[in-house]
Amino acid sequence: MEEKVDILGTNINKISQKDLIEKISVILDENKKKFIVTANPEGVIIGAKDKDFRDIVNGADFVTADGIGILWAATFLNYKTAKNFIKYLEIPFLALVSLFFLVIRPSSVKKIIPERVAGSDLFWEMIKLAKENSKSIFLLGGQEGIAEEASKVIKEKYPQINIAGFYAGFPKEIGIVERINNNNTNILFVAWGQPKQEKWIKENLKDLNINLAIGVGGTFDFVVGKVRRSPIILQKMGLEWLWRLIKEPKRIKRIFIAVPKFIYTVINYKLKH
């Protein structure tokens, strides 16, 4: 059983991307059925309020830390602090110091969870695994036409990949499971965003004849170039959110949840526990 860490009620695996890929390879070899969740700060905040969603995430086979904020929270919540009134000074101070070091020395937040395992990075690693193991993939979700366009990009990069199908669809639509099963799908990527994609996977997993299902949020947009990922240096510094805000100002509400609200909630949780 993989060791996990509790972040605001969401249990996240202490696992590296390399180790997870090795486990996925075994899953594909043994023809098992598994469910992976990539947990980001926004999803953890949703889970703190939505017990059904939190239970779905905690029931997944693997839950990765998709966001350096998750690594920071795991490290920060592990700090030993005073239990008396001093904690009201100590904990906010520790938060400021740890966030400062997060920016100038990102390795400082890798003490509990070894690294960030983002859905957009995991996506391409799983695509390579599918090609190497002659497994098929199905792209579900995204805006109309994006899944089809993403499949073309993947095919150009990996001509030998077996793409079982692609479909935008929507969570309540009837017939999606049959469409996926009829195409002999091994790996299912669902891009409806949290919590819709995870709730749909949980509800339908028992009827899906697949090996692996994973929610990948806006990954298809990255694949087709509709949205550009931030430079690596910003990702390492935990400032990818700032890049997204500059490029997509309409995301300000989501970024507020993922950054200041998440930080505040983690600090408040630490003060109460």
Architecture label for domain 4-67+116-224? 3-Layer(aba) Sandwich (3.40)
- Output the pLDDT for position 271: 94
Q: Answer left, alpha or beta for residue 148, where phi above 0 means left and psi between -120 and 50 means alpha.
A: alpha
Backbone angles phi, psi at 149, to 5 degrees: -65, -40
Tell me the pLDDT tens digit for each residue of 139-168: 999 988 999 999 999 999 999 999 999 999
Tell me the pLDDT tens digit for each residue of 170-215: 888 889 999 999 999 999 999 999 999 999 999 999 999 999 999 9
The CA–CA distances, whole Å, from 150 to 143, 156, 258 equal 11, 10, 26
Residue 56: count other Cβ atoms within 10 Å of its Cβ.
19
- Nearest by Cα to 219 from 150, 131, 128, 127: 150
Residues of the chain with CATH 3.40.50: 4-67+116-224
Residue 204: count other Cβ atoms within 10 Å of its Cβ.
16
Helices then strands (H, E): number in the chain?
Answer: 14, 8
- Output the pLDDT for position 196: 95
Rounded to whole angstroms, the Cα distance separating 235 from 214 reads 22
Q: Looking at the predicted structure, is the pLDDT value of residue 135 above 70?
A: yes
